[in-house]
Amino acid sequence: MRTAPMLDVSSLTHTYGGGTTAHTALADITFSVAEGELVSVVGPSGCGKTTLLRILSGLQRPTGGEVSFQGRPVTGVPEGLAMVFQDYARSLYPWQTVAGNVRFPLRHLRLGRAETDRRVHESLSAVGLEGHAGKYPSQLSGGMQQRVAIARALAYQPGVLLMDEPFASIDAQTREDLEDLVLHVRERYAMTIVFVTHDIDESVYLADRVVVLSGPPTRVMTTIDVPLPHPRDQIETKELREFVALRGEVARLIRRPSTERTAEPISR
């Protein structure tokens, strides 16, 4: 049984510019995310994934369609929504310690000292950085810095966590560890997550459902359920016949020549 959507995206369109230079980045995007679901959004580079996430997070107004978060239309940055960006180096404050970075957004919540400290400690321990609270970002590897960004989002305890290609610039081994970290914290915090990626394996490995986007002008080609068992494992899950079939299905959709792409969303 599906609960009411946490996030609802309806007939979203976005066109940059106007007149002869108008560029329709998003042509028709409709999908919803239920509470506690992990939905990945996968599509080719340049298909408008960043535009979509900026609209979902209220940073950008769409030229058409609607987004609602917890039943309310998104007209500005909603409270209760956190984002983890690809560019971890620029998303952390270099002059603040690890703990300081995690603590920083919590000041808006006026939680009091004890609860703030508890959340900082708990979220750093959830990402395996409890021993690094006093270090500065420059003293950490890229993977560790991205863990700090994830801890910062967790401490905020958002209704929805939006992740914008968060592991795109991280080496393969660390990336697998961080994917497993996302699954772990999702389980521990029963979080609702929208994970945007251009990596097909990653989109299937992490998700309960995959929203597959076409190339521009971008539409939802289809939404695919991922009934793979939990806990997932980087080796065993990826050896499953179901995993191989699902990744093949997504890959065929994304790599089909644009002339063959379907203009209408397919629902499953």
What pairs with residue 84 in β-bridges? 163
47 binds ligand ADP (CB under 6 A): yes
Q: Which of 70, 40, 6 is nearest to 183 (CA)?
A: 40
Q: Which of 201, 152, 130 is nearest to 172 (CA)?
A: 201
Q: Tokens at residue 122, please?
A: 């708990």
Q: Report cis status (omega within 30 of 0) of the bond before 231.
A: yes
Site string for ligand ADP, 243-262 (x = CB under 6 A): --------------------
C-beta separation of 185 from 16 below 8 A:
no
CA distances from 173 to 97, 111, 165, 202 (A): 26, 37, 16, 13
* Closest distance to ligand ADP from the beta carbon of 237 (Å): 26
* Closest distance to ligand ADP from the beta carbon of 98 (Å): 28
Q: 19: helix, coil or strand?
A: helix
Residue 78: phi and psi, rounded to 5, are -80, 145
Rounded Cα distance between 166 and 150, Å, is 9
Site string for ligand ADP, 201-240 (x = CB under 6 A): ---------------x------------------------
Among the residue ranges 45-53, 71-79, 88-96, 115-123, the one whose residues contact ligand ADP (CB under 6 A): 45-53
* Closest distance to ligand ADP from the beta carbon of 164 (Å): 8
48 binds ligand ADP (CB under 6 A): yes
What is the enclosing helix (H) or strand (E) of 177?
A: helix 172-189
13 binds ligand ADP (CB under 6 A): no
Residue with smaller CB distance to ligand ADP, 36 or 216? 216
Q: How many CB atoms lie within 10 A of CB 198?
A: 18
22 binds ligand ADP (CB under 6 A): no
Site size for ligand ADP, by CB under 6 A?
12
According to CB under 6 A, which one of 10, 11, 23, 229 is a site residue for ligand ADP?
A: 23
According to CB under 6 A, which one of 16, 80, 230, 252 is a site residue for ligand ADP?
A: 16
Residue with smaller CB distance to ligand ADP, 23 or 188? 23
According to CB under 6 A, which one of 32, 40, 49, 62 is a site residue for ligand ADP?
A: 49
Residue with smaller CB distance to ligand ADP, 132 or 165? 165
33 binds ligand ADP (CB under 6 A): no
CA 197 to chain centre: 8
Q: Tokens at residue 215, please?
A: 């190339």
5 binds ligand ADP (CB under 6 A): no
CA 65 to chain centre: 21
**Contacts with ligand ADP, residue ranges (CB under 6 A):** 16-17, 23, 25, 45-51, 216
